[in-house]
Structure 1
Amino acid sequence: MKFTDFKFKPYINEALADLHFDTPTEVQRKLIPVVLSGRDLVGESKTGSGKTHTFLLPIFENLEEDSENVQALITAPSRELAAQIYQAAKQIAHFSKKDIRISNYVGGTDKLRQLEKLNNQQPHIVIGTPGRIYDLVQTGQLLIHKVHTFVVDEADMTLDMGFIDTVDKIAARLPNHLQFLVFSATIPQKLQPFLKKYLTNPLIEKIKTNTVIADTVENWLLSTKGRDKNNQILEIAKLLNPYLAMIFVNTKERADDLHAFLRANGLKAAKIHGDIPPRERKRIMNQVKRLDFEYIVATDLAARGLDIEGVSHVINDAIPQDLSFFIHRVGRTGRNSLPGIAITLYQPSDDSDIRRLEKMGIHFQAKIIKDGEFQDTYDRDRRFNREKEPEKLDIEMIGLVKKKKKKIKPGYKKKIQWKVDEKRRKARRSANRAKGRAERKAKKQSF
């Protein structure tokens, strides 16, 4: 299937050709016809699957360019994600012969200037964060009573960041008859009341993928046991020689600490987390695009809210508390069929989380740093499996005893009894020998 099969307006096809978009992704192939039909939709698919154009292309197809009204409203949970959607929309609008007005409303920008523009003219498409959009709606300046398409992008992240109540307030101001589109990497249970409140007979489509992350990504595990983590990450960073590496941490405090350490040791590192002021974050992102940095220390906000091109390596300072974020982190690399390496630092207490990730389809390679290079090492389960061996004998004993209790032929019963007794004798002899050795050793030490 090709994009031309959708029979979009000519300028939309020109925009797609400019992007060298020829074949739709699985999400686009399955869901664009649904969106074009006007039906409410809940689309669940992994990050980087092409969700943005899945809703943008039908919005432009159904847009009345001569209208003076706001026709489509799109919310995103972060300023960075809103900016990405805005840029994608601007790229499409650029090829239209008629003027298409698109506005990006996010926190940290000039609200008074936005209100002045709204006094003169309404945009056709509104994109932004829930808080700023609702502020403008409350003033009565942003008129959304004629909107026919409402998109909630990254709904699970919107919920996690506490913005769903604001989205609810925006939705309450919209007309009763409109198309409601929800896109998300996951659909958590806590999101269900919101969906039931506003969506009418929605199609719920989960796009399954063969692998949770790209096949081109290698996942390495490095143990932190007995190591200073800052120095270990510094050693890893120097060995990688990356085009661009993202180092993910679990807290803002950890981001500040690690960033300061890496900078003090001469690495070109930036940091991105929720406490960085909007203007500063914008400056950092511009520097990232200019390749002024080789390393970005980031919290999970960046994993979901940013689309940074050219990430060759991902380093997980620790396994995230929410394991779904592991997928989003690792998904920053290995895009567009390019190779990528994700390195995760772990300690013995992380074993259960690693096993859960393996059940999700992630294959890990155990590595160590030796002689100034990464080398394969033994599987982390080696000691675990060795310690479990004695338990197999106990299980066997239990089985024999259970067989003994069953009503079976007398001769067979005697054989089982003999095996049980023999095992018990061997166990007693082994225990006595161990006890004797311990007593002799203690006796020698006493002299």
Structure 2
Amino acid sequence: MLFKDLHLKEYIQIALNEANFTTMTPVQTEVIPQALKGEDLIVQSQTGSGKTHAFLLPILQNINEDVQEVQAVITAPSRELATQLYQVASSLIQAADKPIRLENYIGGTDKQRQLDQLGPDKQPQLVIGTPGRIFDLMSDNALWVQTAKILVVDEADMTLDLGFLKIVDEIASRMPQDLQMMAFSATVPQELRVFLNKYMVAPKVVTIKPKQVISETIENYLINTKGKSREELTYQLLTMGQPYLALVFCNTKAYADQMSLFLKEKGLKVATIHGDISSRERKRVMKQIQNLDFQYVVATDLAARGIDIPGTSLVINTELPMELEYFVHRVGRTGRNGLEGRAFTFVTPDDDQAVSDLEAMGVEFEPVELRQGQLVEVKHRDSRKRRQDTANVKEDPKVRAMINQNKKKKVKPGYKRKLNWKIKEHRQAKAKQDRQAEKRSQKAARRKNNQ
């Protein structure tokens, strides 16, 4: 579906054309028409699917520029996320005929200045921000959300994880009963579902399943550390080539600091991002990263959700995330917009079950070792079981030929992973054909019996 088919306001169409946005993504195709009708929506979609425009476009389309009151509120669980949404919205309203007052209310900014700029006749039409600061301004009777017609909770599951859902509840409770509410989330836990049902009326559920859990353009490697230093392995991988931008993920703030110190002592210019970094410092560092002042970034999962750093070509997971769903968000920082990327994940034998769980989710790994500065392919940890499984499956000639091709030892990195995808797709297509043939056969048999 094309954006021009939506008949949006002229200034929105101009902004989309300038950004070369013509065709909608699956989540935009599903969400925008329903959002324009005022439907309550629960949208389950992965990061990078185009969901930001899926809710911003309907909001801007419905804003009345002549009414100076809060008409829509968007909450985001982190300052970086809120700022990113604010920047996208700002770019969309550049060509508007009449001014639209858009404000970004986040922690770490001058609250008194924001209070001074608010008043009975000085309300923003679109509010974007973190739940805490929005609620603070409401509590001071400066920001009036009672007039809002739309509430969007972005990254709702992350909002729940960080403990902000109660504050969002406080915000929503002060809005009109006929409020249109939209929640966008990678997952929808039961506690989140209970909260949404409190405010939504017969919500439409939109689930966008990615064609692949991880983009085809990403080479996804698994490295068994075998007692080796994770810091040293990280340094070797970072210095093997010249990554445009490398993200190194750590589970804890303490280990992120430890990793950063090690890499800095090795002579690398490293930026560090985690929850203990002050708001001003984080803002400064993010700006430096976007200006390519840093080639290496060490981060906790704070940076895995919503912070889009263009050009990330390498991701290193120094350990599997404690919540496996974050794995896809981490690796998804690279290989975006059709560009190639590499991801390395360090594991120990204790991680076998977690790796199996990821594989069950559709994540495919290529096991490798680092030997004398070179990546060497190694056997999969359950290669014997895989051989038995393959032997027990009756394959058609095409799949059997691809499996034989996959046994070649000397192939380009990533080749076997891509071939595995082709085998998987062919099996799924063949199974679908078999099911359809069975249905046709049953239908023919019923017709014959009725004659």
TM-score normalized by structure 2? Answer: 0.84
C-alpha separation in 2, matches of 1:194 and 1:149: 16
* Structure 2 Cα separation of the partners of residues 46 and 86 of structure 1: 20
CA distance in 2, matches of 1:228, 1:324: 26
Q: How does 1:423-438 map to 2 (within 5 A)?
A: none
Q: What is the DSSP-based 3-state SS (H/G/I as helix, E as strand, rest coil) of the residue aligned with 1:141?
A: coil
Once residues 135 and 270 of structure 1 are traced to their aligned partners in structure 2, the CA distance between those partners, rounded to angstroms, is 31
Q: Secondary structure of 2:177's partner?
A: coil
SS in 1 for 2:117: helix
**Aligned twin of 1:2:** 2
Match of 2:269 in 1: 268
What residue number does 1:43 align with?
43
| 2:63 matched residue in structure 1 | 63
Counterparts in 2 of 1:283-294, with a 5 A limit? 283-294=284-295
Tell me the residue number matched to 1:15: 15
1:371 to 2:349 alignment: no
CA–CA distance in structure 1, aligned partners of residues 320 and 373 of structure 2: 25
Give the aligned partner of residue 114 of structure 2: 114
Post-superposition offset of 1:133: 0.1
Q: Distance in 2 between matches of 1:197 and 1:221?
A: 43
- 2:163 aligned with 1:162, yes or no? yes
| Alpha-carbon distance in structure 2 between the residues aligned to 1:143 and 1:190 | 28
Amino acid across the alignment from 1:73: V
Query: Whole-Å Cα distance in 2 between the matches of residues 301 and 244 of structure 1?
Result: 17
Q: 3-state SS of the aligned residue for 2:42? A: strand
Q: 1:53 is aligned with what amino acid?
A: H
Structure 1 residue 384 displacement after superposition: 7.6
Alignment of 1:125-136 (within 5 A): 125-136=126-137
Superposition map of 1:17-416 within 5 A: 17-119=17-119, 121-382=122-383
Distance 2:61 2:139 in 1: 29
Q: Which amino acid aligns with 1:56?
A: L
User: AA paired with 2:111?
Assistant: K
User: Which letter does structure 2 place at the counterpart of 1:166?
Assistant: I
Q: Which has the higher Rg, Structure 1 or Structure 2?
A: 1
Deviates more, 1:370-379 or 1:109-118: 370-379
Deviations 1:148-205 (A, max 9, x none): 0000000000000000000000011111111001011111112122011111110011
3-state SS in 1 of match to 2:74? strand
- Counterpart secondary structure, 1:271: strand
- Where does the alignment leave 5 or more consecutive residues of structure 2 unmatched? 388-451
Aligned length: 388
Which letter does structure 2 place at the counterpart of 1:35? A
Percent pairwise identity: 51
* Rounded Cα–Cα distance in structure 2 between residues aligned with 1:318 and 1:213: 18
Shift of 1:305: 3.6
Once the two structures are superposed, residues 256-314 of structure 1 have per-residue CA deviations (whole angstroms, 9 ceiling, x without a partner) of: 00001101101121110001000000110111011111111100011014111110011
Instruction: Show the counterpart of 1:395.
Output: none
Q: Quick check: 2:222–2:365 contact (8 Å CA) kept in 1?
A: yes
How far off its partner does 1:226 sit?
Answer: 2.2
2:365 partner letter: F
CA contact (8 A) 2:47 2:306 kept: no
Q: Supply the RMSD in Å over aligned alpha carbons.
A: 1.5
**1:370 positional shift:** 1.8
The structural deviation recorded for 1:380 is 2.0
- Counterpart CA distance in 1 for 2:209 and 2:317 is 25
Task: Measure, in 2, the Cα distance between the counterparts of 1:256 and 1:384.
Answer: 40
1:75 maps to a residue whose letter is T
Q: Distance in 2 between matches of 1:299 and 1:198?
A: 33
**SS of 2:243's equivalent?**
coil
CA distance in 2, matches of 1:115, 1:337: 44
Inter-partner Cα distance in structure 2 for 1:63 and 1:384: 59
Q: CA deviation at 1:371?
A: 3.1
Alpha-carbon distance, 1:382 to partner: 4.2
Give 1:202's aligned amino acid. P
Structure 1 position 210, deviation (Å)? 1.8
Distance in structure 2 (CA, Å) of the matches to 1:190 and 1:146: 27
Mapped to 1, the partners of 2:227 and 2:176 lie a distance apart of 60
Q: Which runs of 4+ in 1 moved over 4 A?
A: 382-386
Is 2:223–2:344's contact at 8 Å kept on the other side of the alignment? yes
Distance of 1:240 and 1:139 partners within structure 2: 53
Q: Write the distance in 2 (CA, Å) between the matches of 1:211 and 1:229.
A: 29
